[in-house]
Amino acid sequence: MKQRNTFLELLIWALMLVPLAYLFIVWQQLPDRVPIHFNYKGEADDWGSKTFLAGLIVFMTAGINLLLLAIPRIDPKDKIAHMGSKYHQSRLLLAFFMAALSVFIVYSAKTGSLESSNFVNVLVGALFISFGNYFQAIKPNYFLGIRTPWTLESETVWRKTHRLGGRLWIVGGAIMCLSALFHNPEIRMLFFLGTAAIVVAIPVIYSFILSRREQHINQL
């Protein structure tokens, strides 16, 4: 088990180094001011220095990974530690996502345009699908999952909410991926944001309904 965890850690940090290595390779090719934000049409509308871009990439890779490493140590109920390998597998998924997104950001800064903005739809959609598969393995905690006042009050509400949420995130992630097929950027963004809003809002509402139902049963 320890050997497997060591390999997993090495793999996560290797992924983190990929965008940093790419940034180092193209550093001299980057202009002094690089685009750091694009509108939904893929047009640059805000710029910053190369140093700012480097800091952003470091935060998105090493910074977030260090934060995830610290979370189990500050979890007051030690629930995340009980997830075992599932938690570290989710870290690997997030590491892959952040590495791919960081490489895409550096590439877009180098070219000066967001030539393949639909790539982000596919990438985020795949992340939703991946985490949707892990929802039922997440124990009640204050850091990961669908954390509402109602899921944190009841393990039953937490379990049922994450069962529904997992299915919604898988379906929603697939829709996000398919939204990349739309050539019209307005329609693509509408499907993407609309789907994200729905799969986030429904579990929250569902957890509230379950909690009220559970309270009513307990009062009988």
Q: Dump pLDDT digits (tens) for 105-155.
A: 888 888 776 666 678 889 999 999 999 988 888 888 888 889 999 999 999
The pLDDT value given to residue 117: 64
Question: What's the pLDDT tens digit per position in 38-64?
Answer: 776 666 677 888 899 899 999 999 999
What are the tokens at 191?
């499907």
Check: CB of residue 211 under 8 Å from CB of residue 154.
Answer: yes
- The residues pairing with 47 across neighbouring beta strands, listed in sequence order, are 35
Check: CB of residue 142 under 8 Å from CB of residue 169.
Answer: no
pLDDT bucket at 1, cuts 50 / 70 / 90 = very low
Handedness of CA 189, 93, 135, 166 (dihedral sign): positive
Q: The whole model's pTM is what? A: 0.81
d(CA 90, CA 105): 22
Check: CB of residue 72 under 8 Å from CB of residue 81.
Answer: yes
In angstroms and rounded to an integer, the radius of gyration of the C-alpha atoms of the chain is: 20
What are the domain boundaries of the chain?
1-115, 118-220
* End-to-end Cα spacing for the chain: 48
CA nearest neighbour of 200 among 132, 149, 103? 132
Q: Where are the alpha helices (DSSP H) in 112-154?
A: 118-134, 149-153
DSSP string, 73-98: HH-TT-TTGGGTHHHHHHHHHHHHHH
